[in-house]
Amino acid sequence: MSINRRQLLKTSVMGGASLSFMPSFSHLLAASETGSVDQPHRFIFIRKSNGNLTQQFGLPSFSSHELRKHEEKQAFEVDLAKHDLPEWLRTLDEHKDNMSILHGISMSVSGGGHYSYSGCMGAYKAGRDILSNIKRATVDFELAKLFPSPFEHVEMSLAVPHGRDHRTGIVSGYSAPAAKQRNYCYADPMTAYRELFKSVTNTEEVASDIALFDYLHEQEKRRLRGLSGAERLKISDQVASLQSIRARNSKVESLGDKVKKNLPEIDPIHEGGGEDATLPQKQAAFTDIIIGAMASGLTNVVTYTIDDLGTDITSLPENKQKTSIHQIGHGGQIANAFNMRNAIKFHHMKQVKKLVSQLKAIPERNGTMFDNTTIIYMPETGSGHHGPDTEAPMVIMTGKNSKLDLAGRYIRLPFHGTEGHKTLSNWYTTLLNAYGNPIDHYGDLDLTMQRNRLEQTGAITRFIA
């Protein structure tokens, strides 16, 4: 169900429902107060559906020896500068020195199948998308704590649940600020644009919101008087949420000039939910919004579900049969499933190129914004439509100030269940350790690795610069 942020806030508080039951909503509105950084690092997670077929991530210029290793899933790495990229990836040729193609990370801890819901971001099996299945804060929220910003973590999504044509407005997301708490996300570009940039595009609504927040804040403070125990704690949480919203608004206001300078242009076709916009147009608009929000300093971490099995791909020019992502996953139902997979990824990579190119064009300190940015393009469920989840090929783009030592290489790690294998949990532990969270191990343990009595905890130390 699509919700209006302002209506939800008002009805939640005035109707007696506690914001403490929906802390994920306050994360959408309010900034974290955790720590401070002089120069933030930025993360863009791009989630895709239907898996990433491992054969489509091999390099066409492999030697016979390298090809055999690739097909047999043996560990090795090569220099991308000495190789050709797969056709769907060649739009990023000029950025190969920033690219890593990472094979061998398994997603068995989060599971394959049609969907992983919150699991692929939190390294746990989420099953059906219910709150009790959310085990912990997802890795994107953990990274956002390390690099605070007014909006903290921002989630955008072109996912479409079964039985729906499309979604608009503010809807349930897949990331999570904490256990048993669901994030909210922007389901269409115009909603994201209006909510993120309204400090300069709709000052009247901002003023109205400030008045509403002030009024609600006073109301909740009055309700605190005479209360004790759990009820006092509940209302106290509401007051704290409203205070953090006010603080967020103040921080956004201070960024006014930066926001104006980096305000993206959004095609009017996205008005009213953008029903007439093609999928490439929606993807391009979200990309513009991500760049604008990061360049403005509104957020340092974005998670973007670029498609799921229900996302309509009939507007892709290569989709002559007007088939669906779900049908492509089953392969046999259409003649060109393999090629359509490549076409879908090609359109995704056009947006990755736009992110990299435009962030490289924005000066920052003695370099560019991209120097302090990491983009992770990852499958939601593993290496195919129903998995297997034993490997999940990724494309990673890192700037020169990255604390990850990955750039410019094709890397295949030891296969699942063998000595030296690394899981999604190891990968996320690596990201957190590299950027300031010294956690010993993030995420669940892999049962196959446990049965084989193989070491599987901690970061991938060879990847930390």
Domain boundaries defined on the chain: 21-184+263-463
Dihedral over Cα of 242, 243, 248, 251: its sign: positive
pLDDT, averaged per 10 consecutive residues of the chain (465 residues), comes to 52 38 44 59 96 93 96 96 97 98 96 87 88 93 96 93 76 91 92 88 62 56 61 53 62 80 94 92 97 96 95 93 89 77 96 98 96 97 88 97 97 96 98 98 97 97 96
The predicted pLDDT at position 12 comes to 43
What CATH code is assigned to 21-184+263-463? 3.40.720
Report pLDDT for 109: 96
Q: Would you state the pLDDT for residue 18?
A: 34
User: Given this model, what pLDDT does residue 15 score?
Assistant: 38
Query: What's the confidence (pLDDT) of residue 111?
Result: 86
